[in-house]
Amino acid sequence: MYVYDEHDHKIIQERVAQFRDQTNRYLAGELKDEEFLPLRLQNGLYIQRLAPMLRIAVPYGLLSATQVRKLAHISRVYDKGYCHMTTRQNVQFNWPNLEDVPDILAELAEVEMHAVQTSGNCIRNVTSDQFAGVATDEIVDPRPYCEIIRQWSTFHPEFAFLPRKFKIAVSGSVDDRAAIHFHDIGLQIVKSENGSVGFKVLVGGGLGRTPVIGSVIREFLAENDLLTYLEAILRVYNLHGRRDNKYKARIKILVKAMGPEEFAKRVEAEWEHIRDSQTLLTDKEIKRAKSFFTAPDYEAIDVQAAEAELASAASENKAFSNWLARNVTDHKVDGYKAVTLSLKPTGIAPGDVTDKQLEIIADLADKYSFGELRATHEQNIVLADVKVSELFNLWQEAKAAGFATANIGTLTDIICCPGGDFCSLANAKSIPIAEAIQREFDDLDYLYDLGDLDLNISGCMNACGHHHIGHIGILGVDKKGAEFYQVQLGGNAGNNAALAKVLGPAFSAEDMPTVVRKLVDVFVEKRVEGEQFFETYNRVGIEPFKERIYAKAS
């Protein structure tokens, strides 16, 4: 993983000192609320429903065990003993005291972490595939390019005050696990016929109150041209993006208004002016970035023997077998697997993890995965480099710590924003709805029979829970002061990107488990052998689901 150099350390330390002074001046009454607001947002500090919220950057989801132990320490000393993993691979503290935030940032700097650009109208945290570097379908490891983008975008003076926040995702595999179609810029790494590495560039995707699937504006961009082309996109957006209405200020609105072809023309025209500028990536710089993401010291393993031992253990233990099937992923190196630790046991807010659990996660990473781990945009944790021979021991330790719920990819692996329990923007609570649905579907064998099924919940139309791209999406809405929930069907975050359609009138919180049960019943009745939920939905359409849900009792 990337290690800070002297410039990184100096910049972050200077930012901490600067914000400490700004905070002290605010607390002393020398800065007004409206003056302090942009300053705190530039350092990831929000004011939520009940307390400040501090969002910590986790570039492309990659963390070291040392960093996780620091997060555990901060949650214990400065918060209420837990933190929250977000859908942008970041970490949030929901209960810090304002006067403590400079101290928190100083402690984060000790382990090469920060909260810079986790808020505000700037380029936010760059996200990627949680299996980057180990995926069997990987074309090229995307992490070096994510790091290049991070270094270029951090404190970039030209893009510090964009019309609206800006998000970039990079996928380096055949299967898109980074939701690149739903970002302001999505980059798919590709190879030309002669083997040259480049990018397919998508622009104008996003969720929120106006969900849009991104448009391809360039089929192949050479890797050396990455930053100059991104710069051209940002310049066109900065020049033409609306600043008079924040609800129409995202680049997706601009691309839709101009049309993808016209937008692409303007980007190409701007690019011609700057493509050979100092921002042009050199082979030396790409090589430097790649040097931080070399493979760990994998052992030569007797794969046949290890697999035979694993099969024997699985045959004797159904729970372990279920976990292998759902939480363990193939690895590009023989004898190794990637393991997803579930943060979705029933009764726990999806993505929440305690200080003690963070310490255990760090210990597991040190013991089983070269001291590294990844936060996923599905709000789980991945140990990417686990020896096959150690899977059973890892499972036992994960089970004891509450991380071995064998539900990855199932209906109960719910993506869920903090909702009305915390967020001042929310129209309704999200966490209790997630728990109620998890309790409704507590039969693992039935879950496995349903197959892969994405259920996403957002407490408001800002869509932090990605409800637009769930196979089943749930949106909290306010109806005359009461909390209700709108259901959407047919979303897809992957290669076959799709936006969900609204089923019909909203439901009460009490109705939601039954509503989801009926939706699943229709799927089970209508599916053909081997079909997943979204495949059945695409074949039969929304009407059978609507008829079942809104049928009047005879």
**Averaged confidence pLDDT in the chain:** 96
Per-residue pLDDT band at 342 (split at 50, 70, 90): very high
Q: Is the pLDDT of residue 545 over 70?
A: yes
pTM beyond 0.85: yes
- What are the b/e assignments for 10-41, b being 16+ CB within 10 Å? ebbeebbeebeebbeebeeeebeeeebbebbb
Mean pLDDT across 103-108 = 98
Q: What is the pLDDT of residue 425?
A: 85
Show the tokens assigned to 233. 């996109």
Question: How far is the C-alpha of 8 from the C-alpha of 26, rounded, in Å?
Answer: 27
Q: Is the pLDDT of residue 317 over 70?
A: yes
Question: How far is the C-alpha of 186 from the C-alpha of 25, rounded, in Å?
Answer: 40
Place of tokens 């390019």: 145
Are the C-beta atoms of residues 425 and 460 closer than 8 Å to each other?
yes
Q: What is the pLDDT of residue 48?
A: 81
Q: What is the pLDDT of residue 427?
A: 92
Per-residue pLDDT band at 322 (split at 50, 70, 90): very high
Are the C-beta atoms of residues 370 and 336 closer than 8 Å to each other?
no
**319 SS3 class:** helix
Per-residue pLDDT band at 554 (split at 50, 70, 90): very low
Question: How far is the C-alpha of 38 from the C-alpha of 122, rounded, in Å?
Answer: 12
In tens, the pLDDT along 45-86 reads 998 877 899 999 999 999 999 999 999 999 999 999 999 999
Place of tokens 């214990």: 76
Mean pLDDT across 412-437 = 94
Q: Is the pLDDT of residue 316 over 50?
A: yes
Query: Concatenated DSSP letters for 244-277?
Result: S-GGG-SHHHHHHHH-HHHHHHHHHHHHHHHTTS
Q: What is the pLDDT of residue 50?
A: 78
- For 328, other C-beta atoms within 10 Å of its C-beta total 20
Q: Which is nearest to 496 in space by CA: 533, 530, 465?
A: 533
In tens, the pLDDT along 449-470 reads 999 999 999 999 999 999 999 9
Per-residue pLDDT band at 553 (split at 50, 70, 90): low
Q: Is the pLDDT of residue 424 over 90?
A: no
Mean pLDDT across 216-225 = 98
Q: What is the pLDDT of residue 47?
A: 87
Residue 158: in which H helix or E strand, if any? Answer: none
Mean pLDDT across 367-393 = 98
Question: How far is the C-alpha of 416 from the C-alpha of 84, rounded, in Å?
Answer: 11
